[in-house]
Amino acid sequence: MNKNAEAILLVEDNPDDAELTKLALARHGLDGRVTHVSDGMQALDYLYRRDGFTDRSGGNPILVLLDLKMPLLDGIGVLKEIKSSEHLRNIPVVVLTSSTEPSDLQRAYDAGTNAYIAKPTEFAQFLSAMKHVCEFWVNINQPAPQSASAGVRTTSFGELA
């Protein structure tokens, strides 16, 4: 793994769920390697280096953990944008949500998610799920090489700046 890159972009609007996820990831050695944003528009701003993220360091995250139900732009909208962008589409996206609705699963896979995890309600089960996420996506998976234009700035929804 590129030690200079952020390991994970966490896109979660619920502050309690975000803290729980960061805690679980920290237990697996990723403390300080997680960037949290609280809505879909902030996620795209981060990925496209816009607004408050124009000077962020590092390349693309090696993983995006994405909630579905969020204000401004929901997880499906973010997922569609990531997977349709030449500069972002190789970033693995794992939907991490409380929804077990078959329609949400279908929409997420149709939009290109790499995996779908329904958040376990028991703390021990949640920690176990995050352990598996870390083990596979951070330690085992070989991410796509970063392209020279991976950090290109854009305006809205992928239009090049």
Residue 31 in tokens: 């403390």
Residue 154 has a pLDDT of 44
CA dist 160 and 57 (Å) reads: 19
pLDDT along the chain (161 residues), means of 10: 64 94 87 89 95 86 94 94 94 94 96 94 90 86 68 46 42
12 half-sphere exposure, CB direction, 13 A CA radius: 23
Q: Name residues whose C-beta falls within 8 Å of residue 86's C-beta, 6 or more positions apart in sequence.
A: none
Task: Return the number of other C-beta atoms located less than 10 Å from residue 40's C-beta.
Answer: 24
Per-residue pLDDT tens digits for 41-53: 999 999 999 998 9
Q: Report the CATH architecture of 6-138.
A: 3-Layer(aba) Sandwich (3.40)
Q: Which helix (H) or strand (E) holds 44?
A: helix 40-47
Residue 7 has a pLDDT of 80
List the one residue out of 52, 76, 61, 66 whose CA is nearest residue 14: 66
What backbone torsions phi and psi does residue 25 show, to the nearest 5 degrees?
A: -70, -35
Residue 81 in tokens: 């944008």
Burial of 137 (0-12, 13-18, 19+ CB in 10 A): buried
pTM: 0.85
Residue 33 has a pLDDT of 83
